Copies of this chain bind each other. A is one copy, B any other.
Amino acid sequence: MTSTDWLDQVRWDEHGLAPVIAQDAASGRVLMFAWMNREALAQTAATGQAVYWSRSRNKLWRKGEESGHTQLVKDIRLDCDGDAVLLRVEQAGGIACHTGRERCFFQQLQDGHWQVVEPVLKDPKLIYNK
């Protein structure tokens, strides 16, 4: 018998989504922030590969489906009030961000400006132009 009670226990928002944080399992660095719907979380748990909901494309987004930068999920957590998810992942290629950087949080507030403080590891043209 397969129970989906655990999916019901997530407090999905008015759009049926929950915010998701992806953290590198080894380094602890926060890689990206995204969203999941119920199906995305179910598939993530079932396959062990991160699947998100793309709000811009309005469809399931198998992380890495275009870039190859998949995320192998080691741990799935839910927060105290059940409305946010934390993943610890192994990031394929060491690149989580579509800009070709290790992660999306590469802009740091410095003296009232957002400064880019992390390098592009791979030209996005080479990531996506296959």
Contact = CB atoms under 8 A, between A and B. Distances in A.
Interface of A: 2-3, 5-6, 9, 19, 21, 23, 27-30, 32-33, 45, 75-82, 84, 86, 97-99, 101, 104-109, 112-114
Q: 5 closest pairs, A vs B, by CB?
A: A28-B28, A33-B84, A79-B104, A76-B109, A77-B105
Contacts of A106: 77, 80
28 contacts: A2-B112, A3-B112, A6-B112, A6-B113, A21-B30, A21-B33, A28-B28, A30-B30, A32-B79, A33-B79, A33-B86, A45-B109, A75-B108, A76-B109, A77-B105, A77-B107, A77-B108, A77-B109, A78-B105, A78-B107, A78-B109, A79-B104, A80-B97, A80-B101, A80-B104, A80-B106, A84-B104, A86-B105
B33 A108 contact: no
Contacts of A75: 108
A112 B6 CA distance: 6
Contacts of A79: 32-33, 104-105, 107
Contacts of A109: 6, 45, 76-78
Contacts of A81: 104
Given A30-B21, A30-B23, A98 B80 contact: yes
